[in-house]
Structure 1
């Protein structure tokens, strides 16, 4: 009986230690809000076609390599966006990286066919990677 109790205590201790090491690491409510705010601000700049301002949300390492003018050329003026939602779907604390799904309505700026007029705005989900460095969340641009 004493042996079974000891084995039970050891097993419980191992489970607690393993759970602590491999448990899901989450953002605090304050961290999540700060990230969601940054994502929203960047997309508001994109909606307003202020691409230079959107560049300011890219990581310092990205900005050190890609100037604003090059970043601006990445975007098309043929589509408009309207932000409809932001959701943090994953966070890796050891890498300080968060995956975010941004929901937008996209619509062509010029109706070039009857089909484009009938389709109108379409919902789109964009998966983004954001990194936390130097006390701030930064968009990790894929180039």
Structure 2
């Protein structure tokens, strides 16, 4: 009886060894860096690293562009304010036709009819009308 138990024990050990051998070969093929899943994981890992580097470069470029755009916007607002002041100060300057004529002593000032000046605004927005539809 002892002999039969030993034979079964040796047979079980040989079967377990063969099973481990087959699993080891399959695992080696599975982790192969050229053809298996290990290769795919290695390629994906390299792509993720490249993507992270590209993302960091894009973030740095956008931060630089944002700072530049902020500076340009500030400068544009300052220039717009200066232009508004200049336009406002132009309203205070008398026109040449309204200014008194200086004449030399002893000469009479020439009488000339100044050209008629429009009193309306310089720029005007006209409303668009749809012709033919609302008649």
TM-score normalized with structure 1 length: 0.30
Q: Which structure has more RCO (C-alpha within 8 Å, separation ≥ 6)?
A: 1
Higher helix share: 2
Larger strand percent: 1
Larger radius of gyration: 2
Q: With structure 2 as the length reference, what TM-score do the two structures score? A: 0.31
